[in-house]
Amino acid sequence: MPFRIVSGDITKLRVDAIVNAANSSLLGGGGVDGAIHRAAGPRLLEECRTLNGCRTGEAKVTLGYDLPAKFVIHTVGPIWQGGHCGEEELLRSAYRNSLLLAREKHCESVAFPMISAGVYGYPKDQALEVAVSTIRAFLDEEENDMEVLLVIFDRGSFRFDVHLYSEISGYLRNTYDEEKERGSFFGDVAKSVAFGGVSGSRCSLFSRSKSTFSANCESAVREDIDEEAAAAAPNDLRKALENLDESFSQALLRMIDSKGMKDSECYKKANIDRKLFSKIRSDINYRPSKQTVLAFAVALELDLPETEAFLRKAGFALSHSNKADVIVEYFIRNKNYDMYRINEALFAFDQNLLGA
Ligand code: AR6
């Protein structure tokens, strides 16, 4: 099920539950705790008084009162003391116990702040790693079907892996065509057609309006991509490419089978919602977004020519004048199919994430 990193104020989110990074008294405080109490109103404190506090690493639940969220799950993260006092284990427990409580309350969506990463002083890069890996392990379990958001309040405090950040920056410098992305709309598309690469969003915009330009644009791109992809693709994929009548949905289902994957394994790895997957499965003519196609390409561990061919099925192409495309291309080239990592990188570079 989908995991998303979003920026903003957790008190504004319309989800089933938000998680509060509280202290063991559960009687309020500063930071996100103060913001949640202010937004929920005084009845939240009244209910908190009946809970008799909460130990570090554990979690308790109340109603959301004036918040858009139905529930508040209060958890207590560890205070950072240098990392040798069981802080990591306690932080993992805080996330896991909150998720278990959300499941017990039948929540379909839950949002977390970065627990312990403020006043409690947990190093932000390590707090992010613990948050993402714990949420991921929970969502990977077959029975856990929930949307989980990690809310970054202050984007400056989002600490993405420094080494990977500089590698991706280098790849962007060499590959990303910023001029083209900034260029005028028509000029941009015309140039892209000439170079055989059209950014997905623009192409889909045109195809929706069904203009003549759209038809020209699509057929010009189709020829280039089909030839390029067919030349580079391995035999079984080439056979699939020859089958031009096959829709995106049919191609996806066949590829899941040919990779020997279970459906649930594939949509979980793609960070795609189960309901969306069922829709794609049952609608042979389903028109996915570019992000959805790329998410499945990553889950299926396709190489670049295969990814191009797969995108083509849905009327898209990878473009060097689209920063998100170049970032995803970097991961595929390096055979790094870790969707969580890819989405962290996309977030770090302020791009839309993959999956649902
Ligand atoms: N929405 C989302 N995240 C937020 C918000 C918000 N409105 N406000 C702050 N954050 P902290 P802790 C982020 O200090 O480190 C309290 O006094 C913030 O940027 O709130 O677990 C309690 O009562 C940071 O990334 O919690 C405890 O005494 C993250 O939330 C103590 O602080 C956590 O920062 C708990 O400290």
User: Can you tell me the distance from the alpha carbon of 203 to that of 218, in angstroms, rounded to the nearest whole number?
Assistant: 8
Distance 53 CA to ligand 1 centre (A): 18
Q: Is 33 one of the catalytic residues?
A: yes
Residue of the nearest CA to atom 23 in ligand 1?
Answer: 29
Distance 128 CA to ligand 1 centre (A): 14
Instruction: Check if 119 has its Cβ closer than 6 Å to any atom of ligand 1.
Output: yes
Question: How do the domains of the chain map onto residue ranges?
Answer: 3-157, 162-348
Q: Which two tokens stand for residue 81?
A: 């003391």
Percent of the chain with pLDDT over 90: 74
pLDDT digits (tens, 9 = 90+) for 116-164: 999 999 999 999 999 999 999 999 898 898 999 999 999 888 888 899 9
For residue 238, pLDDT over 80 is answered with no
For residue 193, pLDDT over 60 is answered with no
- Say what the pLDDT of residue 199 is: 30
Give me the chain's average pLDDT, please. 85
- Say what the pLDDT of residue 223 is: 40
Check: CB of residue 217 under 8 Å from CB of residue 191.
Answer: no
Instruction: Check if 127 has its Cβ closer than 6 Å to any atom of ligand 1.
Output: no
Which of the following is catalytic: 9, 16, 33, 154? 33
* Confidence at 214, pLDDT banded by 50, 70, 90: very low
Counting atoms of ligand 1 from 1, which one is nearest the CA of 154? 19
Q: Which residue has the higher pLDDT, 21 or 225?
A: 21
* Confidence at 244, pLDDT banded by 50, 70, 90: low
Check: CB of residue 341 under 8 Å from CB of residue 3.
Answer: no
Residue of the nearest CA to atom 28 in ligand 1?
Answer: 23
3-state SS class at 320: coil
Instruction: Check if 35 has its Cβ closer than 6 Å to any atom of ligand 1.
Output: yes
- Say what the pLDDT of residue 355 is: 86
Instruction: Check if 317 has its Cβ closer than 6 Å to any atom of ligand 1.
Output: no
Pocket-testing residue among 12, 13, 27, 32, ligand 1, by greatest number of atoms within 8 A of Cβ: 32
pLDDT digits (tens, 9 = 90+) for 248-286: 999 999 999 999 999 999 999 999 999 999 999 999 999
Residue of the nearest CA to atom 34 in ligand 1?
Answer: 118
User: Can you tell me the distance from the alpha carbon of 311 to that of 241, in angstroms, rounded to the nearest whole number?
Assistant: 11
For residue 178, pLDDT over 70 is answered with yes
User: Can you tell me the distance from the alpha carbon of 162 to that of 95, in angstroms, rounded to the nearest whole number?
Assistant: 24
* Confidence at 177, pLDDT banded by 50, 70, 90: confident
pLDDT digits (tens, 9 = 90+) for 278-336: 999 999 999 999 999 999 999 999 999 999 999 999 999 999 999 999 999 999 999 99
CA distances from 25 to 39, 92, 155 (A): 19, 20, 29
Pairing of strands 3-7, 71-76: unpaired
For residue 184, pLDDT over 50 is answered with no
The domain defined by 3-157 folds into Leucine Aminopeptidase, subunit E; domain 1 (3.40.220)
For residue 186, pLDDT over 90 is answered with no
pLDDT digits (tens, 9 = 90+) for 50-74: 999 999 999 999 999 999 999 999 9
3-state SS class at 257: helix
Residue of the nearest CA to atom 33 in ligand 1?
Answer: 118
- Say what the pLDDT of residue 231 is: 52
User: Can you tell me the distance from the alpha carbon of 247 to that of 77, in angstroms, rounded to the nearest whole number?
Assistant: 48
Q: How many CA atoms lie within 13 A of 271 on its CB side?
A: 27
